[in-house]
Amino acid sequence: DVKVTQSSRYLVKRTGEKVFLECVQDMDHENMFWYRQDPGLGLRLIYFSYDVKMKEKGDIPEGYSVSREKKERFSLILESASTNQTSMYLCASWDRDGYNEQFFGPGTRLTVL
């Protein structure tokens, strides 16, 4: 069964903390993505990666960074969390050569106090 897993379902952090969100996929996909989802705004792309050590900015990269040291793992980093980063974060992966859907992880609901 296809799997994208995320390290935490719920996370509560304080303003200014460094936050790591981890995503792991077991499908050997090249492309991985980080989105945030907010009510009324749909899903917005933060960063994506199409290969190990490669990354591309999405639509809202400010305040975030990413790391992809291994093909199966894509990490989202909030260097100094702020309250406006309270959101649902969704990781996804995709087979670049296929025409199938993106597979999504279960999501991490992050609250920054």
Partner 1 sequence: ELKVEQNPLFLSMQEGKNYTIYCNYSTTSDRLYWYRQDPGKSLESLFVLLSNGAVKQEGRLMASLDTKARLSTLHITAAVHDLSATYFCAAISGNEKLTFGTGTRLTIIP
**Which residues lie near partner 1 (CB under 8 A)?**
31, 33, 35, 40-45, 48, 50, 56, 58, 90, 92, 94, 96, 99-107
| Nearer residue to partner 1 within complex by CB, 50 or 77 | 50
Cα-based distances in Å from 87 to 11, 47, 55, 75, 111:
10, 15, 22, 16, 7
- Let me know how long the chain is: 113
Smaller CB separation from partner 1, 58 or 63: 58
H or E stretch at 31: strand 31-38
Q: How far apart are CB 15 and partner 1 at their closest, in Å?
A: 25
**What's the closest the beta carbon of residue 65 comes to partner 1, in angstroms?**
18
Residue (64 or 94) nearer to partner 1, CB: 94
